[in-house]
Amino acid sequence: MSSNTYNWQSACGRWLEFEVVRAQRDWEPVGGIYMFVKPHDPQAGPYGGPICLFIGKTEDFSQALARHDMWQAAENLGAREIHLITIKHEETRARVMRELIEAQCPILNKSMLRRVA
């Protein structure tokens, strides 16, 4: 694992390698999953992060991340990084996103975690 990647575990136990980027840049027009992440806090010891605050999926990173409506809320909670993984197929993106939300329980995805009985 290089310094510009981070591995996240999904609910099925698979580890996925995400590219780590800081704040704004020119985004690629490809599809995948993205996370707004609060980076590791060395003063908090080994359990200080990183913490996933929001997970989303898109067909086009350049459109989804240019002005994302959840970035400000995530930034207010300490997000300074965006973690990206390219996944071309919509069905795979949807499945992987559900598995990541289940495993990571991001606070800004709480409405997606509620299940109707």
Tokens of residue 86, six digits: 């390219």
Taking the C-alpha atoms of residue 44 and residue 114, their distance in angstroms, rounded to an integer, is 30
Angle at 110 between CA 94 and CA 100, to 5 degrees: 35
**pTM for the whole structure:** 0.85
Sequence-distant (≥ 6) Cβ neighbours of residue 3 within 8 angstroms:
none
Helix, strand or coil for residue 93?
helix
Domain spanning 5-107 has what CATH number? 3.40.1440.10
Region 25-30 average pLDDT: 81
Q: Where are the domains of the chain?
A: 5-107
pLDDT digits (tens, 9 = 90+) for 41-98: 776 666 667 999 999 999 999 888 887 889 999 999 999 999 999 999 999 999 999 9
